[in-house]
Structure 1
Amino acid sequence: MTESFGTTAPHRRVRVWFGAHPIADHTAVADQAAQYEEAMRRRFASLRVTSEPVLVTTATPAEMSR
């Protein structure tokens, strides 16, 4: 069995947090994610907003079904 290594994709995951609980979760291409992040920061100024790269695995479909 071969190991799968993660690489970043041109997508980002933006989340709005209320304490330890995400109340909004959105994944989009980088430029759209940046616009969404900006809008969420304006709307929820007192909450934490994170933006992280989406991790893509390089596993084959057969390896993923195991």
Structure 2
Amino acid sequence: MTESLEIPAEQRRVRVWFGAHPIADHTATPDQAAQYEEAMRRRFASLRVTNEPALVTSGPVR
């Protein structure tokens, strides 16, 4: 049996949501992600914008 590990990365994931559907998905460094989040909040003021740690999936664990 193989499993994948998810480990926090030095990246952030910013998404813009239309209901339950992401309409934009961007991964960047924390500083760049903060700037992108701010821009998306201005552009899509009525939509939900999230900024979360990006998870990197490693290869199979044996």
Q: In which range does the TM-score fall when normalised by the shorter chain?
A: 0.7 to 0.9
Aligned partner of 2:33 in structure 1 is 33
**How high is the sequence identity, in percent, across the aligned residues?**
77
CA RMSD, 1 decimal: 2.0
**Structure with the higher fraction of residues in strand conformation:** 2
* Rg (Cα) greater in structure: 1
User: Deviation of residue 10 (structure 1)?
Assistant: 1.1
Is there any run of 5+ residues in structure 1 with no aligned partner, and where? none
Q: TM-score, normalised by structure 2?
A: 0.81
**Structure with the higher fraction of residues in helix conformation:** 1
Greater relative contact order (Cα < 8 A, sep 6+): 2
How far apart, CA to CA, are the structure 1 residues paired with 2:2 and 2:23?
37
Q: TM-score, normalised by structure 1?
A: 0.76
User: Deviation of residue 55 (structure 1)?
Assistant: 1.1
User: Deviation of residue 2 (structure 1)?
Assistant: 7.6
User: Deviation of residue 47 (structure 1)?
Assistant: 0.3
Is there any run of 5+ residues in structure 2 with no aligned partner, and where? none
How far apart, CA to CA, are the structure 2 residues paired with 1:3 and 1:22?
27
Q: Does 1:16 align with 2:16?
A: yes
